[in-house]
Structure 1
Amino acid sequence: MSPRHVVVLAAVLSVGLAWATWSVFRARPETLPDARPPSVVATGSPVAGATQLSPGAPSPSAGTVVVHVAGKVRRPGLVHAPTGSRIADVLSLAGGALPGVDLTTLNLARQVTDGEQIIVGRPAPPPGGATSGPGATANPASPASTPVNLNTATLDQLEALPGVGPVLAQRILDYRTQNGPFTTIDQLQEVSGVGPKKFDSLKSHVRI
């Protein structure tokens, strides 16, 4: 065999070997990566069915209500009382009402609600005040209950009018003497010392 034939034969064998090797690798099954997600083991997870509170959320009610007590009490302010408490209970928690305070405007048996405000009433009228009925003594300094006739009123009657002292009462008498009887109530504004505000406070207490 000549050298030329040897070279040709070697080339043919090389091509055949390369073809066989390529065929073997092509026939092998391709291994695909596992597409399943990795399993995760949860640690410290909450029990199924448990309720979680978000951070900062208020805690559940503990059976109490918060009431603002103001006015005539010993310790005004916020009072924490059990649910179902009544106004009388809340006032007791606030130290009670001050002496002489009238509580008749409050329904002490009413149940309070969370967030409401209770204002304790004004002090009761002092004993010995003005009363009505037989034997009652009228206060001489109080204004007359019926309008005073400007043309017949005396000095004492004019002084009893609201805001009228002895000086102004005398000026009214002097005006009546100098100008004759009043014909209208508005003429009272012509008296020195009777301005618009003074007239407004007097016009319902005088007449012609």
Structure 2
Amino acid sequence: MSFQRSAESWRAKLHLSKTRTPVLMGVTALAVVVLVVAGKMLLDAASSDGFALEGPVAESSSKGTGELAGEEVSEVRMLRVHVGGAVAVSGVYEVSEGSRVLDVVEAAGGFAEGAACDSLNLAREVADGEQVLVPSQADRAAAAASETAAGSLAGGTAGSAGALAEGGRVNINTASVAQLDTLPGVGVSTAEKIIADREANGPFKTVEDLKRVAGIGDKKFAALADAISVG
């Protein structure tokens, strides 16, 4: 339908049959122009508001991201640990702070064949400058055999200790670590101190001189006085 016919139709519906066609077309054109201008103004206003909102949001978002990145960036302290024994490649490895024994073993290429993995606490945290030695099954077997032999030796010397001095007493000037270890209240550590003392200060002249050894006080001396001699 042409614009003129459409206008006449509307004029008929609105009872404007007496109104001239040019006037009606002018009014219609003016209405169209008003609608177009109003629509453009609305679009401009919407675009302007959107821009105003996007500016602070974008700035805030950028600022927040920067702050978050600054918070997440932190210096990681590195540790150096010497890993040896039954591992693929022994050496000094650099690991991050908080690493476990398992982590440094993996850094060394993992366990070697025959490693005694259960002999270590793999969940323990390592320290800077630490040495982690992974024993082999052969090492464990040798250590067990050595402990058994030491126990047998201690038992044998306990039976023959009476030959060391008259009356079955242990001569503290000639006894070995194993022989001194048989005395009541004296362990391997104290036995080693006794031998170190007599080598540094000369033989004990009396049994009471034993109290000059660190770790042997009056109470411990009284417990072993009847079992020792100086010659």
TM-score, scaled to structure 1: 0.32
CA radius of gyration, larger in: 1
Q: Choose between structure 1 and 2: higher helix proportion.
A: 2
Higher relative contact order (CA closer than 8 Å, sequence separation 6+): 1
Report the TM-score, using the length of structure 2 for normalisation: 0.30
